Structure 1
């Protein structure tokens, strides 16, 4: 169907955000999408913090964004906003890198006090980068994400249902953009 770039903006190897995204990647893959994971933490810090636009890792990330039909952008919430590593990457992408793309913003955090970080911090940046459609995002509490032995992720029932719904809405919006509107047969 479509190519989805799944961007984890967590700086931590053992991040719940990262694990939640990879869990959701499986749902998108099952729906027929080609999902490419991108963990921003794997991009060399000197390239991100030194704003090295020509660094091969930055060029590769920009090429992945350009190739994608849609993006899932996940971040832990720090200081009522998205992560610094995600901000560094977004700053290094072309100004309108998201033009024509469908985007699903997701965030995780320890308190519902941060639930508005998606709408007041992340969404404006995604919008300024030209995203064609930013679907309803979702905030998931850290306590609703459990990592089992072996790395399997389980999500608390209510949160799992809400996440499934926003991922399905993203998938539908992405499909509509990629394939265009389906016209009813003339009768």
Structure 2
């Protein structure tokens, strides 16, 4: 029987036209090439009241947490605001169980306006994830807004065009993640 890896992408983008969506869409396409299934949790689509009031027993929060619990890998994607990941992402991370990332392979994907916050993955995100049991990381990717061209499609939906350097770095992270998942499934 073929083992199907489960990967959850947690997107901390506060809006639908964010260039981060171009990154997550590209990553999902690359993962599908490896026959890896993904589920996207867009934190902004979770009930705001549940996030703000830390309603751990909210059906929407419980459903999202169950997806993370079943995942073998978690991709954490966020724009960088004020040298860190978004507040909306933090509100959701606070609602995950204390050791909710234990045993998961983590892939951080950040996007910022400039290269100045390149180390935000290491300094702002990783300490929080480590407190939640995260130990195994594949190479993260920090993208800059200028690497993604955003236009409007025929139905007013945003269309994203990533530059070749960014595509190559994202593909390498996906390849690394696929290798780690393959190694893990062969050990079982």
- TM-score, scaled to structure 2: 0.91
Equivalent residue number for residue 62 of structure 1: 65
Does residue 1:15 correspond to 2:18, yes or no? Answer: yes
Counterpart pick for 1:88 among 83, 88, 91: 91
Are residues 114 and 163 of structure 1, via their aligned partners in 2, closer, same or farther at CA, if it must alter by over 3 Å?
Answer: same
CA distance in 2, matches of 1:171, 1:123: 21
CA distance in 2, matches of 1:147, 1:5: 24
Q: Displacement of 1:118 after TM fit?
A: 0.5
Equivalent residue number for residue 179 of structure 2: 172
- TM-score, scaled to structure 1: 0.91
**Matched ranges for 1:103-142 at <5 A:** 103-142=106-145
CA distance in 2, matches of 1:135, 1:126: 14
Count of paired positions: 181
Q: Displacement of 1:148 after TM fit?
A: 4.2
User: Counterpart of 2:122 in 1: which secondary structure?
Assistant: helix
State whether residues 4 and 69 of structure 1, in contact with CA within 8 Å, keep that contact through their aligned partners in structure 2: yes
Question: Structure 1: which 5+ runs fail to align?
Answer: 182-187
User: Counterpart of 1:92 in 2: which secondary structure?
Assistant: coil
State whether residues 6 and 36 of structure 1, in contact with CA within 8 Å, keep that contact through their aligned partners in structure 2: yes
User: Counterpart of 1:13 in 2: which secondary structure?
Assistant: coil
Q: Displacement of 1:175 after TM fit?
A: 2.1
Equivalent residue number for residue 45 of structure 2: 42
Provide the aligned C-alpha RMSD in A: 1.4
